Amino acid sequence: MTTPHPTTSWLNTGNLGMRADGIEHHPLRPFLPPAARVLFLGSFPPQRKRWCMDFFYPNFINDHWRIEGEVFFADSKHFVDELQKCFRLDDIVAFCQQQGIAFFDTATAVRRLQDNASDKFLEVVVPTDVKALTAQLPQLRAIVTTGEKATTTLCESLGIACPPKVGGFVPIPGMLNQQQTQIVLYRLPSSSRAYPLAFSKKVEAYRRMFEWAGLPVSSATH
C-alpha cells in the first residue's frame, strides 16, 4: 500500500507503458532539489510489485529510509508507517527537499535477466546522462552509490579508473560544482538487508558521508 494522497507524484507516467524487446524504462522522474549537496544514484528500481510507495528505495524491507531516520532523527522508524507497512512519502519528500538530498539511478533503461530484484541480473541498455543531472545541482558535493552495479556503471560513464572502496570516495575527473569545488564519487554500503553488515555499522557509514557533505545530522548516538 502506498502513502495516501501524496502531494506530488514522482512517477514517470510516460515510461510506465513503454516496454519492447524486454526493455524496461525508468518508472520515476529524477528527484533533484536545487540546493542538493548529495545525489544518490542506484542501479534501477525493483519491480513495482515490490514497491510500498512511488519513490526511490520503495521496497519496505530495504533499510535506506530507516538509516536516514536514524542518522537525522535518531529514530529508525521516523519515516516508517508500521500500520500501513509503507514509508511516509510526503515526509520523505519534504525532508529531502529541505536537506538537499537528490535521487535517481545510473540507468534509464534496462533488461531484467531474471525475475528478481538483484542488480547482478540487470543489463544496462541506456545509461543515465549523469552530467545532465549534475548540471542542475550547482551545490552538489557528492554522488553516492551503494551497490556494485551502480558503481561500475557510473565509473564507466564518467571515466573513473579506480572505484572507491566502501566507505571511501574518489574525485570525479573534470566535475566541479558551481563554486568550483570538486565533486566526488562516494561509495556506501548497500541498504539492502542482503548486504552483510550490521544496521548500526551502515548508519555510521551514512552519517560520516552526510557530515562530510555538510548536512546537519543528529548528535544522538546509540
Spatial distance between the Cα atoms of 139 and 176, rounded to a whole number of angstroms? 9
Q: Specify the pLDDT at position 149.
A: 92
Q: Specify the pLDDT at position 120.
A: 77
Kindly state the average pLDDT of the residues 158-185. Answer: 96
Q: Specify the pLDDT at position 89.
A: 96
| Cβ pair 96, 68 in contact under 8 A | no
Spatial distance between the Cα atoms of 220 and 210, rounded to a whole number of angstroms? 15
Q: What is the pLDDT of the chain when averaged over all its residues?
A: 92
44-48, 62-66, 104-108: least confidently modelled range: 44-48
Q: Specify the pLDDT at position 5.
A: 45
13-27, 71-85, 193-207: least confidently modelled range: 13-27
Q: Is residue 3 predicted with pLDDT exceeding 50?
A: no
Q: Does domain 32-213 have CATH number 3.40.470.10?
A: yes
Q: pLDDT tier at 220 (50, 70, 90 boundaries)?
A: low
* Torsion angle, alpha carbons of 166, 173, 124, 190, to 10: 20
Identify the top-confidence range among 14-23, 96-105, 212-221: 96-105
Q: Which of 89, 82, 91 is nearest to 56 (CA)?
A: 89
Q: Is residue 1 predicted with pLDDT exceeding 50?
A: no
Spatial distance between the Cα atoms of 93 and 31, rounded to a whole number of angstroms? 9
Q: Is residue 174 predicted with pLDDT exceeding 90?
A: yes
Helix axes 199-213, 64-73, angle to 10 degrees: 60
Q: Specify the pLDDT at position 7.
A: 54
Q: Specify the pLDDT at position 137.
A: 98
Joined together, the cell numbers standing for residue 176 give 566541479
Kindly state the average pLDDT of the residues 44-54. Answer: 93
Query: For the chain, what are the domain ranges?
Result: 32-213
- In this prediction, what percent of the chain has a pLDDT beyond 70? 93
Q: pLDDT tier at 66 (50, 70, 90 boundaries)?
A: very high
Could you read off the pLDDT of 73-103 as tens digits, one per residue?
999 999 999 999 999 999 999 999 999 999 9
Q: Is residue 4 predicted with pLDDT exceeding 50?
A: no
* Torsion angle, alpha carbons of 75, 77, 79, 83, to 10: -160
Q: Specify the pLDDT at position 116.
A: 63
Provide the phi-psi class of 78: left if phi over 0, else alpha when psi is between -120 and 50, else beta. Answer: alpha
Kindly state the average pLDDT of the residues 139-156. Answer: 96
Q: Specify the pLDDT at position 2.
A: 39
